Amino acid sequence: MSDPGVFVSGASCSAEPGCITCGDVAVILTVATVAGSDASCTDEQGRKEQVATELVGEVRPGDRVLVHAGVAIERLSAEETGG
Amino acid sequence: MRFVDEFRDPELAEVLGREITALCEPGRHYKIMEVCGGHTHTIYRYGVQDHLPEDIELVHGPGCPVCVIPMGRVDDGIAIAERDGVILTCFGDMMRVPGGRGSFLEANARGADIRMVYSPLDALRIARQNPDRQVVFYAIGFETTAPSTALTVLRAAQEGIENFSVFCNHVTIIPAIKAILDSPDLRLDAFIGPGHVSTVIGCRPYEWIPRDFAMPLVCAGFEPLDLLQSVYMIMKQFADGRAEVENQYSRVVHYDGNPVALKVLADVFALRPFFEWRGLGSIAHSALKLSPKYAHYDAELRYDLPGVRVADPKACQCGEVLKGVLKPWECKVFGTACTPETPIGTCMVSSEGACAAYYNYGQYAKQRLTLEVLK
């Protein structure tokens, strides 16, 4: 447990050191703004990512969503986010 | 880092390790398979096995999307990419997967136009930007990733984008687990279920495992403490004489999954009668293709493909590794002829592949083991 590193967040995939989409990695992001079925979201470091939201219903700024391959696949409830 | 730090606390890990040890029945050896490659990565990266007693063995399963792609499908992708006017798009790890005619990276060097994308929606954007080119998305992944491909096809249809298609290699996890359980080579006691796949499909599709095989399955998150807690929950089931599906990853997995995503999957995709998995062979109803409603976006119908089955290199033992029969370091070419820089087998390509994960992180565990033996 000595490695404090985290999975890479943000909209990127590379052959080196490894593709986060291939790795089934999903990241929790916070919705910043919404435009139709797309939302601009940010991660804990403030990095932005454009996310499609059709699969989780209507989202609002402040909502937290689980994102994989640029698509929100689940919305976290207020209880789950501690909010 | 509130969602991360609390799941990496070393003191809590030690406490959980002690509680797990206390639940072990003396003289019994437990084999627990983590189905998902993301879990394999966490286990090696954080040394999760080191917190478990010797009687609990974690066995790596087939849940690395890149690892299960057979060589013939790589060659089909190259055949598409080599056509005039085509841009082939794929996720990063696919670039280095060896096919019978080399990898996508090598095809790029020969002049094909193959581009990495993070999302299939990026592939659709490339199609919008290049209306005079045909853009094909090489889709791989389990039920975590398939919804993003489905959503992209829906958007392409809504926008009337005609120069976009999908070469679909999406696979489904349940038939792979069935194939593992039917394999005579392996005796397992329990499963750690894939967390993000379960976000989409829920926990219900696993209920046949405890019912028919009396084996516990716990859907787990991807942090080290998630995995240790899941092992604890499995061991508690053994201690209580139970075999059930439980959900450790309840902060994102709902027992019934994501019904909207499931509906979209059912609309856009249809099950293939058979699909070949690297190492596991042909498995019935284990993969997806575009449904008749969206066949217009199916690259397999749009292009004439070789469709040839290519045998794995003889030296490669990815099949045994994918079934959990062999540990990565037991493969004949591990770390010598086969490395992440020059992979022979798929398990050495993706960071979630058992061989690459062990190659990158596992040598530390091996060193510890050697030192203990020397003592």
pLDDT grade for A14, boundaries at 50, 70 and 90: low
For residue B375, what pLDDT is reported? 42
pLDDT tens digit string along B64-106?
Answer: 888 888 899 999 999 999 999 999 999 988 998 889 899 999 9
Q: Which residues of B335-364 are buried (b: 16+ CB within 10 A; e: fewer)?
A: eeebebeebbbbbbbbbbbbbbbbbbbbee
Pull the structure tokens for residue B119: 């999302």
**Distance between first and last Cα of chain A:** 29
Output the CA torsion A24→A27→A33→A37 (10° steps).
20
Output the CA torsion B322→B325→B330→B335 (10° steps).
0
A24 contacts B144? CB cut-off 8 A: yes
Q: What are the backbone angles phi and psi of residue A31, rounded to the nearest 5°?
A: -70, 130
Nearest CA of chain B to the CA of A80: how many Å? 6
For residue B363, what pLDDT is reported? 58
Structure letter (DSSP) for residue B259: H
Report yes or no: B17 at the A interface, CB cutoff 8 Å.
Answer: no
Q: Would you say B224 and B41 are in contact if contact means Cβ atoms under 8 Å apart?
A: no
For B49, the closest chain A residue by CA position comes to A1
DSSP codes joined into one string, B66-134: TTT--HHHHHHHHHHHTSTTEEEEE-GGGGG--BTTB-HHHHHHTT--EEE-SSHHHHHHHHHH-TTSE
Is the C-alpha dihedral spanning B162, B164, B167, B168 positive or negative?
negative
pLDDT tens digit string along B229-243?
Answer: 999 999 999 999 999
pLDDT tens digit string along B264-310?
Answer: 999 999 999 999 988 788 999 999 999 999 999 999 999 988 888 88
Stretch (H or E) spanning B31: strand B30-36
Report yes or no: B62 at the A interface, CB cutoff 8 Å.
Answer: no
pLDDT tens digit string along A41-75?
Answer: 999 888 899 999 999 999 999 999 999 999 999 99
For B352, the closest chain A residue by CA position comes to A23
Is the C-alpha dihedral spanning B343, B344, B345, B346 positive or negative?
positive
Contacts of B13 in chain A (CB under 8 A): 1
For B66, the closest chain A residue by CA position comes to A22
Distances (CA, A) of B217 to B195, B234, B243, B248, B333: 12, 7, 8, 10, 33
Pull the structure tokens for residue B351: 């960071």
Report yes or no: B141 at the A interface, CB cutoff 8 Å.
Answer: yes
**Distance between first and last Cα of chain B:** 39
Of A13, A56, A73, the CB nearest to B91: A13
Interface of chain A toward chain B, CB-CB under 8 angstroms:
1-7, 11-15, 17-26, 28, 44, 52, 54-57, 66, 68-71, 73-74, 76, 80, 82
Pull the structure tokens for residue B37: 């490659």
Of A24, A54, A55, the CB nearest to B196: A24
A3 contacts B119? CB cut-off 8 A: no
Q: Answer yes or no: pTM beyond 0.95.
A: no
What is the distance between the alpha carbons of residues B369 and A63, in angstroms, rounded to a whole number? 46
For residue A6, what pLDDT is reported? 29
**Which candidate in B4, B49, B138, B151 is best for mutational testing of the A interface (most A CBs within 10 A)?**
B151
Q: Would you say B316 and B333 are in contact if contact means Cβ atoms under 8 Å apart?
A: yes
